[in-house]
Structure 1
Amino acid sequence: MFVRGPAAGQMVMLIILLPFLHPLGGVLGAKTCVPKSSCSECIQSPGCAWCLAKGFLQAGEPSERRCDAKEALASRGCEKPYLPETEEPLLMKDKQLSATDNIIQLRPQQIDFHLRVGVPQTFKVSFKRAEGYPIDLYYLMDLSFSMGDDLDMIKKLSQDMVSTLRGFTKNLRIGFGSFVDKVALPYVSQRKRMRRDPSPHRGTSCQPAFSFQNLLNLTEDTAAFEKKVIGQKISANLDSPESGFDAIMQAAVCKDVIGWDNGTKILVYTSDDTFHMAGDGRLAGLSEPPDGHCHLSPSGLYDGTRFDYPSIGQLARVLTANNIQLIFAVTKNISAAYEELSKMIPQSVVGVLESDSSNVVELIIKAYKSLSSSVVLEHHGAPQGLQVAYQAHCRRQRQGPPGLRPWSQRAECKDIKINQQVDFEVQLNMSRCLEQTEFHLSVQGISEQLKVTVKMKCDCDCGPVEKESPSCSGHGVLHCGTCSCDPGFLGQACECQQSEDHISLDEKCRHGGSSQLCSGHGSCECGKCTCQHSFSGPFCECDDSNCAQSNQQLCGGNGKCVCGKCNCSANYGGHACDCSMLTDLCQTAGRPCSGRGDCLCNRCVCNGGFDGDHCSHIPNNCTKYEKCVMCISKLTEEGAGPCGVLCEGAELSRKKELQDAHCSFQSILYDVTLTPQGIVHLRYAEMPISIDKTLVIIGSAVSGIIFIGLLIILISRLLLELHFRREYQSFVKAQQQTNWKETQNPLFKGATTTVMNPLHMDDE
């Protein structure tokens, strides 16, 4: 059973929340330009370009107007906006991946960048774990009294451990160290006899307690490892937790003493109990935290009585900095505690150890395979302001479309085999200008590094400086399109001589004693207001953008806004110039608006009872003139009075037939139309006499049923008659073909012998 840290669920949540929690999510690809007053500041603003053209600005426009998006500057007439070109990264060292004598697992090895703020650049990193890569394995064992049977088992299995590891690599170095606890109360007894022999039972002998002891430096001499393990004796302490953290810290930082090399570094930690952590040392009066340095004595001993126990964070940083992978081989009763610990230490796994360590060899092999199958790429030493993001391209793993893959602060691929290449996409982005800097990328547990050097593009290459430039009225220096005026001159083009002090000139730009210059909407140039944007007037008091709108346009697009009021163009009027004085849209073949409305602002305003663009439509005309038709029907039948009032002046026209009418009332069909001259024309006609369709339908249906029934009876009787005739003919034919022969039945032959009954002779 192995547990890797950090937990997979936490990493998934980190990937999901990263764009919202980290500046990386907002910086990558940002294109919104924030204008700046100088060219150097402008090109440091993401999405911005700078216009170098002379005379680009209008009178009174500030220098910030030269800084805008490239497309916006081009639309305003800037022919060639200045925007530093992005340079491709320069590969300084790019050796091929190799698994031969000169093993190379990470490519490239060195790369240089020229970055601009807010413009990300990407590059590819490849990794392939080589088969037979050198392994440095340091076996760190708990020698407290409860580990006695484990020590005996390790002595027996030391040869198996070495031979099994040599199956993975011929370049194997192995070392050995042990730990108990700090030699201080309340961890270790301070009685003289117990200091010499801390054994809790009479009849047994133990070696003195110690916090950590380096017993064998990393060596290729595997026989020395076996000899050193066999020569070890158990020790003892007072409490259950051990000083495993002290041992891990010293084994990691004493790299020169231990002899760590550039191969795969593995630290195997075996114990059957929990651990002391930072703060526990206060029980012995040890409050000073570990300083992260090596404190082994010449004999390789560390008693731990100067510093407190290390914290988990210290261990994680030290192990990561030294590329050491940690295997916790612990018994089942304490495995849960070490699983939680492993989640906080990168490149660490937990394996469940049998009570007597009999499965330690299998456990180490499985743990090594689990660690080596995971490839984690991360960076070290990147300065603030430089964001580094990753995308992993792991083979044989499901991935989304390239545009939807999330960027994260590190990249990880799992279940990777030996000699299987994986690729990573790395993106760099600067949020602010920095000095030239460098940092490193590396795979966890691998000493090889990729060196990345970053140079910044923070200054504009605007060409030579033009002194006493005509564009600056001969009184200033022109650089990057802007003037730096000589003393005594001011203005956008240094056109104003400063004959008065600033206070006197500024007073001429104040309106009615206002405290704001140019009403806050312009700049005071030589005692005169130069208005910004849409403001005008001697003191920029008029806002030429604050007028009525129509169709989401100022003054309806048919006039000009002058000091808050619309000056309409010819043929337009109204508060927002939205009323056309023309009448062309109201004209019809007859009268304007069909004579049933008025033309206002070139639109028909219809009278009641009429609608449509030209008032030519009568809504609900059938219902509207129904009373008129009712009156007409009475006039025809009963001789009633005129119907002019009810017909609202409509012209009546009687027709003999009216086939296209779409209105009807009782026995009258009628149709209502409006002529181009505005006259309502009502045509009507009597409905033609019609047959009662219901009776016709019922009669036809009954007749059809009767006819079909009779037809069926007739056909069935005819078929039956034909059948009878065929049967009769068959009978007659069979009778004619029958040949009767008269022969005697052999069963009824006459008797051949006659017997007389004497009793009846008289009767004869």
Structure 2
Amino acid sequence: MREMQTITSDFRIVPVHSTPAKLQNPCTSDQNCTSPFSYKNVLKLTNDGQQFNSLVSQQQISGNLDSPEGGFDAIMQVAVCGDQIGWRNVTRLLVFSTDAGFHFAGDGKLGGIVLPNDGKCHLQDNKYTMSHYYDYPSIAHLVQKLSDNNIQTIFAVTHDFQPVYKELKNLIPKSAVGTLSANSSNVIKLIIDAYNSLSSEVILENSKLPEGVSISYVSHCKNGVSETGEDGRKCSNISIGDEVTFDIAITSKGCPSRDKSEIKIKPLGFNEEVVINLNFICECVCSNDGIRNSQDCHFGNGTLECGACKCNEGRIGRVCECSKDDVRAEDLDANCRMDNGTDICSNNGDCICGTCECKKRDNPEERYEGKYCECDNFNCDRSNNKLCGGHGQCVCRVCVCDANYTGSACDCPLDKQSCVATNGQTCNGRGTCTCGVCKCTDPKFQGPTCEICPTCPGVCPEHKPCVQCRAFNTGEMKDKCEENCNNFKLIKVKEKENLPQPNSQPYLTHCKERDSNDCWFFFTYATKNDTVEVYVVEKLDCPTGPDIIPIVAGLVAGIVLIGLALLFIWKLLMIIHDRREFAKFEKEKMNANLKQKVSSVENLGKVNLSVLSQQDVFSCPELFAIPPPEKGTMCSHPEENSGP
């Protein structure tokens, strides 16, 4: 409470407690629960914070069978029971704190309550006593009562139900939503923020308008921002001392049943209001100068006012030419029947003196017309929920279309621009443009301009058989060429360079296809003024046959080279083989000589060991393993010394 008194010194507070439970025993445990009730006013608005805290702390919980609560009953009673609540003529704030959803109109039927809420105060001993008799109020009913009593609502709810109450906020003007923390410790800050938010916005509302009267708003807010329409009713982000203005225009389209009415305009949440008194002048000023018993009104049977006759009592007709006693005469009614029918004035008017006077419509723009009131301007065909599609006028139940439109409802544009494909053709040349929409005649094509073909192979493969048969008399369409391939104009050129180029024709396709003989042929496909032109090179590009002589010469030369190479390899191998055999032969020959010398030495040892000559011993030192004799050593030959 001290926090709120820092914002405003004139502050009062009241605790509100509500529950929709209608239970005999709300608690199933040993908890000390209070009896179930719908709404109870614990304390009138007060500036005694201690008393408020004391009474709130004494409140006990109750029980419920379902999750939604009956808070709408409580809000309704707080809004309409001004004396019991203690509302004063100041800014009024209602803080609604909850952790659950809400019941609204219709939910009471589940308990057999069918009477709608009457929006009146039913507090007895500070308790709402009609919860078992009246249904919950609707949201629209709450909006009305909160507005009538200048109450601004702040919904302080838990995080889980914040989306629900944000949607409710959008339906209740001048309301705000804040999220409570787990222990609700931020409730004071929440209220302050919501109050500042509500105080920074001005929204105008008006009372019920008289019949045929409309009102429009233009707001002029801060920084020169102006809005119209529904946004013209409000200005946001306003601080104390800021000035905003509203332009209000009231328009009357006719004369209501009452000559005087009033409209009240006020900002939501404030007591001030502007009362506008409306005085409707339904008579022209020229009527004051009327000529009584004018001769222009059938020999003085009426008063000429503003160029028209106002008939005297008992006289009727455009110029008061008829007596009311003659209105239903048979001879007069016959002139009001079309084609000797039975309907007088086509049941759309009255026969006055043999002339049909058509009935007036509630909408002044709608009227019956014609000699027998057989025509009207509102029963023509509609398109897009608009009379004559919005592109014509209804004349005697037939649409007279504007330029470039046709059809019974003027819904068929004659402009074919919407049917033009990217190649410049109407419906890609594969359909007709009807009422601005392409109707594809080729079943393979689809799309708004018949350009989409999911199964088409492409322009070149598609027209290859016909081009091949007509230009070269070959291909799969050869036997059916004249029957199936006469839908284009064929032009032959001598060289590829003579084919049309893309810069000469904007919608041109170059094609290169191959026939069964592996010969290539070139052509172009182009559309020009709804005709197809195909340019084709008259000479096929076939692969040339091989030159035999170079092939044979090359083959012979290759064989010769291969033979020479084989011969060279054979010769090399033979040389290697011969050298290996010669080396082997030399080695065997050396081994044979050595064996012969060793045998001679053994034979000599058996008879007489003699000293070998230096020439014999050292002729093959590897066999004897004897180092050469030192210088000065003497050896003798066996033949010179035969002694031992």
TM-score w.r.t. length of structure 1:
0.40
If asked which structure has higher relative contact order (CA below 8 Å, sep 6+), I would say 1
